[in-house]
Chains A and B, each alone.
Chain A
Amino acid sequence: MTTLLKVEQITKTVRSNGEDLKILHPISFQIADGESVAIIGRSGSGKSTLLSLLAGLDVVSSGEISLGEHQLHQLSEEQRAALRKQYVGFVFQSFMLVQSLTALENVMLPLELAGKTDAKQHALELLEKVGLKERGHHYPNQLSGGEQQRVAVARAFASQPKILFADEPTGNLDAENGKIVENLLFELNQQAGTTLVLVTHDTQLAKRCQRQLTMQAGHLTESTGVENSVQSDYTADEQASDKKEQVA
């Protein structure tokens, strides 16, 4: 399998109250084309920050990320946006639908931004796949949470992305709706052969992925599935110091 996403020694540091705060310690790993990967960890462990860097929503403080042929860390904001348009789909915990557009228009949005001519037709097909063809003319506030997330899933697949990032996609949903969305996500992923990277607390959901990466206090500590794909500088000493901090 070819490597789609390659992460090398990336870190993220932010300024907080006049001091540098390291949110991500050097992290390296690779994700293969078509693979599904879950990033798990506690709140504040750095999962979402890692996701934002992988998706090019934010920039690394150091290190390199390459998506396909593209060196994400070398691209400008505009270039990264263009890259997202071409390669990347998103599903968010809070759905992030445009409230002033109908369900159908929300699904059409990435297609229109990409200048596709058959946006409507394609969007209708996707809404049918997520079981919401009849609700296309409804606005997000007229839909339940589960329905909104299904629209978001349809929108994520609309641009036929190479890689799909999902941030806690079932986090705001009850078990039943969570399951529906989860199934949809994996089904569509399989059909389209998309690479899936999802951040979750839900161990059951994580297990459905081929690999799980665990974040802990800004470090990537475990990986299962593909061997040797994770190289972490998280030393035994650092693990010990983290534990001490947690106890304190």
Chain B
Amino acid sequence: MNQLAVSFSLSQRLLKQEFKRGELTIMLLALVLSVSSVFALAMFSERLQMALQVKSAEFLAADRVLESSREIDPSWHRQAQQLELNTSAQIRFSSMLFANDYMQLTAIRAVDQYYPLRGKVLLTDKAWTSGQETELAVQPGEVWLDSKSVSQLKVALGDWVEIGATKLKFTRIIDTVPDADLNVFNASTMAIMHIDDVAATQVIQPGSRISYWLSLAGDFDQLTEFEDYLLPLLNRDIHRWRSTESDESAMLRAVERAEQYFLLASLLGIVLAATAIAVAASRFCERHFDLVAIIKTLGGSTKQIKWIFNSQLISLMLIGIVLGLAIGYVGQVVILQLLAEYLPEDIPQVGARPWWLAVLTGSISLALFSVYPLLKLFAIPPLRVLRRDIEGFKAKDWLNWLVSAFAIFLLMWIYSQNIKLSLALLLSAGGITLVLLLLARSTIWTSRKAGANAGSAFKLAVAGLYRRATSNSVQLISFTLAIELLLIVLVLRNDLLAQWQSQLPEQTPNHFVINVNDFDIENFKTDFANKGIRVEQTYPVTRGRLIAINGEYVRDRVSKEKEKVADEDAPRSIGRELNLTATAELPDENEIVQGTWFNELPAEQRQQNHVSVEQRLTERMDLKLGDELTFNIGGIEFTAVVSSIRTVKWESMKPNFFMIFNPKTLEEFAATHIASFYVPSDKKPELSGLLMNYPSVSLIDVDAIIQQIREIIQQVSLAVEFILILVVFAGILVFVAQTQASMFERKQELVILRTLGASSKFLRASVLIEFVVLGALAGLFAALANEVALYVLQTEVFKMQASFHFEYWLVGIVTGAVLVGCLGLMSCWRMMQINTQALLRSLS
């Protein structure tokens, strides 16, 4: 028989036995876990990401939108169609609608039959009621109106509505459109008509304020190709290019952070699973030292031995990968099922990436972490059959560290495709390991002195710690890293969830009103309060232009602003009318980063004109504290000094302003008010009646958007929980693998002590103390390392506020002590069940 075939058959028999005896459980579990979690996570997050992109594309009603103040070059349209992108053209303008002797200035969208490319329009037959999704497109000769226009124009379905020089038949009531205008200042009533009817309205005259939209949807590659073609042709004064990524919504911020969290948590999960594999692979090889010596003694060649063990590991790898893929696949299907109600109906299928990523993870984990132990194994000399202490391999720990570090780096790199992040994680892990090694050594050394005078079980435990200082340091480090990674993932998850929840708490204002007259505002509040609706803080709004900075006219500076291409998508504020407000109180979620808020200014300065400016605007305009800004409101110019710079949460569903003045500055100017409030859905129909008394007021309903954001945050939170569970599981595997390995080292000593008559109770106590001390120390170090790592992650990666987490110090120490102690005790317990003779025999 072919010798290699014999080796293979032998290796499979040995493997089967190992499985039966449970020796490979940990390694297989670790392997299956790393493969299945990488697979499930990659598949799930990719599908989630695609689903979210589809959802966020719905906010644009397309994947990309080109907005232009002039007619869009038809060749661009053709180019998009050549690339097989779906396109939709739209013209937006404001015009007066007339019906039944009523008139209303309305924002009109003239669309083609393809609108919307993403998302659905919700239509209803009764104003102020919830609509149904529709596949319908507005037809030439038709107009659809929103509930507010219906109320204002007092029209019924079938009535004729005049727009400019034409009449259109009112056929549907719009509940929501996917790309509802989020800019509360632009909102008014809305109507949708067909683009072919625009010419007949004759509203497009030279000088009219019209915007032309080209919406696009399609494959990412085609979109990118089109972007490459189009972007160089755009003129910033005329065009605005919008993509889902450039949108600054709360949802996208949440998704972005969630993605970073996924990436990081999965990386840490992979590192943990890989550590478990490394520990288990090392134990696997050590357990076979004798077998190799026997085979070599019986004349087996090194080639045969390599075959036997390599084919065992390859078989194990294959089993692990197949099982991992199967479990991972089922896992993500189950998660998607659980999340079905939050996800769009057709979740896009993903490509091959999750598959090869998972297969590579399994292969690299096992192959690279086995290299060093295998080298040791193959080098076992036959003489070991006579002298059990010899290993024949000059320990090259640096080689082991090097290969392991390379393996971990490779795994992280392949998974994240971010060399910088992978290197940063690797180097910081390396640094932490080094510091921990020194700490561990010195602590164990100190404990030796402390334990010298203690009771016997304690003394034995401490002596054990000291005697195995090297291996204990390694164990301490792996326990520490496992606890640290668990703490990081746990703390970040809690912080993220808390931040998301605080972003949109219950009763977040879901409606805005603008254009409330100054003399109406108090009545308005009272009317609403009488209906049980609390109108939150209101702001006076005055339209004005920034015309000069320190006496230099802004027109000259606009060109400077243009140069800052990178900030293309930042809120635009200059060169157009701004909404200016004045308030004595700093609005919620605004934070002063430089300077002083008005009420803290020295008394003598309070009577001057002051303005607080949004931070990113100051960066774009090169503004600083003390600059004098000149504004023009209705022909009157005035100057205010920049006395503070604020950050603004643009994603919060609240009125936000670039410029806020002290009340004195704007008191001379007429203002209308903006307010936000929460209306429960059962009270919505009352709004129309309430607003009847305030004809100038525009209402903006953001309820649907808030709901959508909530749903997405909910599904992202669930995904975060899922990852936490995976990471915890990976962490526990490391614990079990490491405890098993360290128990083996203690076996001989325990057997001797047992033979000498030490009671089980005494031995268990000593093992328990030793492991509890190890675990508690690991927990303490982990808590320390956790603070450092979290500080860096929160400030650098997640751009969140850094915080200390003293409550987790106790969690770390207790978790470490309890988990490691229990696992140690369990292994010891099992060993104590076996009689001494059998134990002695298993050692020989």
Contacts and interface: CB of A to CB of B under 8 A. Distances in A.
Given A57-B297, A115-B1, A105 B302 contact: no
A127 interface: no
A157 to B, nearest CB: 12
Interface stretch (A85-93, A188-196, A208-216, A237-245): A85-93
24 contacts: A57-B297, A57-B385, A58-B381, A58-B383, A81-B301, A82-B299, A82-B301, A85-B298, A85-B299, A86-B299, A98-B14, A100-B17, A109-B10, A109-B294, A110-B299, A112-B6, A113-B3, A114-B299, A115-B1, A115-B2, A115-B6, A141-B838, A145-B841, A159-B298
B449 interface: no
Given A57-B297, A81-B301, A113-B6, A90 B14 contact: no
B300 interface: yes
Contacts of B295: 109, 113
B24 to A, nearest CB: 11
A26 B13 CA distance: 45
A112 B298 CA distance: 10
Contacts of B119: none
Nearest to A100: B17
B385 A92 contact: yes
Contacts of B294: 96, 98, 109
**Most chain A beta-carbon neighbours within 10 Å: one of B3, B13, B382, B844:** B382
B19 to A, nearest CB: 10
A117 interface: yes
Contacts of B387: 48
B420 interface: no
Interface in A57-103: 57-58, 77-78, 81-86, 88, 90, 92, 94, 96, 98, 100-101
A115 B8 CA distance: 12
A172 interface: yes
Contacts, number: 91
A95 to B, nearest CB: 8
A51 B293 CA distance: 16
B14 A101 contact: yes
Nearest to A94: B844
A35 interface: no
A96 B844 CA distance: 9
A81 B301 CA distance: 6
A52 interface: yes
Interface in B1-46: 1-3, 6, 9-10, 13-14, 17-18, 21
A147 interface: no
B297 A84 contact: yes
A57 B386 contact: yes
Nearest to A92: B385
Contact of A113 (B300, B302, B838, B842): B300
A75 to B, nearest CB: 13
The 3 closest A-B pairs by CB, nearest first: A85-B299, A100-B17, A84-B299
Contacts of A48: 386-387
Contacts of A92: 385-386
Nearest to B10: A112
Contacts of B382: 57, 81, 84
A114 B841 CA distance: 29
A51 B14 CA distance: 30
Given A82-B299, A109-B294, A113-B3, 5 more contacts: A57-B385, A78-B302, A100-B21, A113-B300, A115-B6
B304 interface: yes
A167 B3 CA distance: 29
B92 interface: no
A93 to B, nearest CB: 9
A57 B300 contact: no
Nearest to B303: A78
Nearest to B384: A57
B296 interface: yes
B586 interface: no
Contacts of B300: 81, 85, 113
Contacts of A159: 298-299
Interface string B446-488: 0000000000000000000000000000000000000000000
B297 A90 contact: yes
B293 to A, nearest CB: 8
Interface in A94-153: 94, 96, 98, 100-101, 105, 109-110, 112-117, 141, 145
Nearest to B15: A100
A55 B3 CA distance: 23
Nearest to B838: A141
Interface in B269-328: 290-291, 293-302, 304
A78 B300 CA distance: 9
Nearest to B18: A100
B303 to A, nearest CB: 8
B14 A167 contact: no
Given A51-B386, A101-B13, A90 B298 contact: yes
A113 B13 contact: no
Contacts of A78: 301-302
A96 B382 CA distance: 12
Interface in A141-184: 141, 145, 155, 159, 167, 172
B298 A113 contact: yes
A109 B17 CA distance: 15
A48 B383 CA distance: 10
B2 A113 contact: no
A82 B298 CA distance: 9
Contacts of A113: 3, 6, 295, 298-300, 304
Nearest to A90: B297
B298 A109 contact: yes
B287 to A, nearest CB: 9
B18 to A, nearest CB: 6
Contacts of B2: 115
Interface in B824-844: 838, 841-842, 844
A52 B6 CA distance: 28
Contacts of A112: 6, 9-10
Contacts of A109: 10, 294-295, 298
Contacts of A105: 13
Contacts of A83: 299
A101 B1 CA distance: 20
A58 B10 CA distance: 26
A116 B2 CA distance: 9
Contacts of B383: 52, 57-58
A118 to B, nearest CB: 10
A86 B387 CA distance: 23
Contact of B842 (A86, A116, A141): A141
Nearest to A139: B17
Nearest to A55: B297
A77 B293 CA distance: 12
A110 B300 CA distance: 8
Contacts of B844: 94, 172
Interface string B158-173: 0000000000000000
Contacts of A115: 1-3, 6
A82 B295 CA distance: 11
Nearest to B392: A77
Interface string B381-421: 11101110000000000000000000000000000000000
A172 B302 CA distance: 30
A133 B838 CA distance: 24
Nearest to B302: A78
Given A96-B294, A100-B21, A81 B386 contact: no
A52 B302 CA distance: 19
B619 to A, nearest CB: 68
A223 B844 CA distance: 33
Contacts of B302: 77-78, 81
Contacts of B838: 141
Nearest to A49: B386
Given A78-B302, A82-B301, A172-B844, A117 B14 contact: no
B299 A88 contact: yes
A52 B386 contact: yes
